Chains A and B, each alone.
Chain A
Amino acid sequence: MDFKSKLLNNAVEEMSSLPGIGKRTALRLVLHLLNQSKEEVNQFANSFKLLRENIVFCKICYNISDTEICHICQNKNRDHSIICVVQDIRDILAIESTQQFKGYYHVLGGIISPMDGIGPDDLNIDELILRSKDEKVKEIILALSATMEGDTTNFYLFRKLSESNVKTSVIARGIGIGNELEYTDEITLGRSIIHRSLFESSLSK
């Protein structure tokens, strides 16, 4: 597609760089924006700019946050003895929606996936180990995806956490549920947090 307008070309190009947006859809969206007032489009564009410029990762749990410490970590009424380890912030949203978990979170920022070039150093693992050494912390729940990479990450974290004075548990996963936390329904996910088991007992599958 060449529109003989550099401005239009650029806008379509940028729009189609988003995941799942092809050139046609991009054109439709760009034309839609053109039909709106300058103020409206400014506001639209500004919201992304502000998001990118001002959002930070929580200094404690690596959740995304508007402030240095996220709203969950700021909440003193939660249970200080439990930390739930998740891959990314979508998992926090999923677990929060179950209303079954009252502890704090730790976002790893992925899982160990050597095939994709992701090793322990690329994840927030050292920070988790540091947090686990706080004497208020009694339990670490591992809530990672039930894949081979998730397993390797679980084993790795378990090994690292064995130096700390905490017990390590994994959320219960039904057989055949290979899907990610995000897609697990609230009731199932809520149950799998309540029915978590000590990691040792899940070693021999």
Chain B
Amino acid sequence: MLLTHLSLINFKNCTDISIELNSSVNCFLGNNGEGKTNVLDAIYYLSNTKSYFNSIDSQNIKFGEPFFVAQGKFSINEETTNVYCGVKKGAKKQFKFNKKSYLKLAEHIGKFPVVIITPYDSNLILEGSETRRKFLDRLISQFNKPYLENLIAYNKLLNQRNATLKQMAESQRFNADLLAVIDMQLIEKGNFVHQERKQFLNEFIPIFNHFYKDISNQNEKVTLTYTSTLNDNSFEQLLNDNIAKDRVVTYTTKGIHKDDLEFKIMDDYSLKKFASQGQQKSFLIALKLAQFEYIKKKKGFSPILLLDDIFDKLDESRVNYILQMIAHKKLGQTFITDTSLNKVTNILSKLKVNFKSFEIKQGGATLITEDNQEL
């Protein structure tokens, strides 16, 4: 899959950008704050119908402007698709596939997959379980439509259940029948999501292990585990066993909304507390490369890879690992940001990788290198 053209108007601080892209590597270079990460985010946006960094659409409009437009030309097996997104303050978001609006935005998810590696990935280790579930959900949704539908339905039913628990507590009138019909639906959706997560991780974890071993070059063992209260008990049993507690706290204490991915080192030590910075970084890159590999396997083509600021934030050996993959054409079309105007391009030239580079300055883009020739 390729992104052949990208144009942005007022997307964050990108005022007016319209660029033709290289099919292997594109570099966005410039100082921090000039907008290079925003260009990557725009690509992420066109793939996922939302920003990686800020899910509030109106906040992705350039300050003081009334709207933004992001457009990309994607091509899969020679077939070209125009993806258009327009967001105007106070109006419904326009998201179009070859000029046709979607009935539901969710229909777009997974058509043009991207994988992003950014310094913010450390949130996967540092933050609460919600961040890891989001990672899991976004990834599975890329190729599993029923998963996304069931998950959305589950969340709505969960809200229904929690609101019902609250109202029953306030009115002091318990309606077992109402709770039973909500539970019945919740159990059906929850079991589906749980099964799909389990099956996904059965396939995903070996790929992850392979990458981690490859990157770390060390003997320390890390483990990625899927934890869910549904692993050992039926959801129905869990809801029944915890109803007294749920009624007291007035929310649902058990279910797939509490699932997590556990990151551990040396069998039983938390990665967050006991692993070195280097080990954590290797872990995250392995996670993202496994995501790349998994999507590639499922879709039959490489997703787009977005590398945000990795030269500043990663050490040489890990950067080299990724560059070697690029040089050996193991990755697909790749987009790289860096602060230095020539560091990345020098390395890519040495590796004989074909690339284009753009200088991003004050929200505009200037082509500075094409087919490895400085202009």
Contact B160 A114 (CB under 8 A): yes
CA distance A6 to B175 in the complex (A): 50
CA distance A160 to B180 in the complex (A): 12
**Chain A contact surface mostly:** helix
A80 to chain B, nearest CB (A): 27
Which residues between 154 and 175 of chain B lie within 8 Å of chain A, taking CB atoms?
Answer: 156-157, 159-161, 163-164, 167, 171, 173, 175
Known contacts A148-B153, A148-B157, A155-B185; A114 and B177 CB within 8 A of each other: no
CA distance A156 to B159 in the complex (A): 17
With a cutoff of 8 Å between Cβ atoms, the chain A residues found around residue B163 in the complex are 114-115, 117
Which residues between 91 and 131 of chain A lie within 8 Å of chain B, taking CB atoms?
Answer: 112, 114-115, 117, 119-121
Known contacts A119-B167, A152-B182, A155-B184; A160 and B157 CB within 8 A of each other: no
**Chain B contact surface mostly:** helix
A25 to chain B, nearest CB (A): 20
Q: In this assembly, does B178 line the interface, its C-beta being within 8 Å of a C-beta of chain A?
A: yes
User: How many residues on B have C-beta within 8 angstroms of the other chain's C-beta atoms?
Assistant: 20
Q: In this assembly, does A24 line the interface, its C-beta being within 8 Å of a C-beta of chain B?
A: no
With a cutoff of 8 Å between Cβ atoms, the chain B residues found around residue A119 in the complex are 164, 167, 171, 175, 178
Select A148's contact among B156, B180, B184, beta carbons within 8 Å: B156
With a cutoff of 8 Å between Cβ atoms, the chain B residues found around residue A88 in the complex are none
Select B181's contact among A117, A121, A159, beta carbons within 8 Å: A159
Q: Bin the interface of chain A by size.
A: 10 to 19
Known contacts A114-B164, A155-B184; A120 and B157 CB within 8 A of each other: no
With a cutoff of 8 Å between Cβ atoms, the chain B residues found around residue A176 in the complex are 103
Contact A152 B185 (CB under 8 A): yes
With a cutoff of 8 Å between Cβ atoms, the chain B residues found around residue A115 in the complex are 159-160, 163
Max chain B C-beta neighbours (<10 A), residue from A119, A121, A151, A159: A119
Which residues between 117 and 150 of chain A lie within 8 Å of chain B, taking CB atoms?
Answer: 117, 119-121, 148-149
CA distance A120 to B171 in the complex (A): 13
Which residues between 307 and 350 of chain B lie within 8 Å of chain A, taking CB atoms?
Answer: none
A157 (CB) vs chain B CBs: closest residue:
B181
Proximity bits, B176-207, A CB within 8 Å = 1, else 0 = 01101110110000000000000000000000
User: B interface vs A, CB < 8 Å?
Assistant: 103, 153, 156-157, 159-161, 163-164, 167, 171, 173, 175, 177-178, 180-182, 184-185
